[in-house]
Amino acid sequence: MYYELRTYTIKPTRLGDWLALYKTAALAVQQEHLGNLVGFFTTEIGEVNQVVHIWAYTSLDDRMNRRNAMAADPRWQDFARQNKALDAVVTLESRLLRPTDFSPLQ
């Protein structure tokens, strides 16, 4: 299993707007295509105005195929347009993680 940790830094005062857009326009599409949402978080301490979510994949090919299918979905393309217009995202960081043999998440 592989886990993708995605961290979005959002402009100050725009976090609520971005979360509302994501919840209404992107969440269902991602759940349909990506399938295994492990968690979705906002930061409270440390670097604030961040959204962190984790998705699980059986392999790197699984991730690539799922993300390609999502990118081709008109609903995702519509979200991308709305996201760009909202202009709330400052940075996006994506990390692919592989659990150790003793990790509770495999």
Model pLDDT, residue 34: 96
Q: Quote the mean pLDDT of the chain.
A: 96
Q: What is the pTM of this model?
A: 0.91
The predicted-structure confidence for 34-61, as pLDDT tens digits, reads as follows 999 999 999 999 999 999 999 999 999 9
Task: Check if the beta carbon of residue 6 is closer than 8 Å to that of residue 50.
Answer: no
**Residue 106: is its pLDDT beyond 90?**
no
Domains, in order of start, for the chain? 1-55+87-98 (3.30.70.100)
Could you give the strand order of the β-sheet that contains 50-57, starting from the edge strand earlier in sequence?
37-42, 50-57, 2-10, 89-97
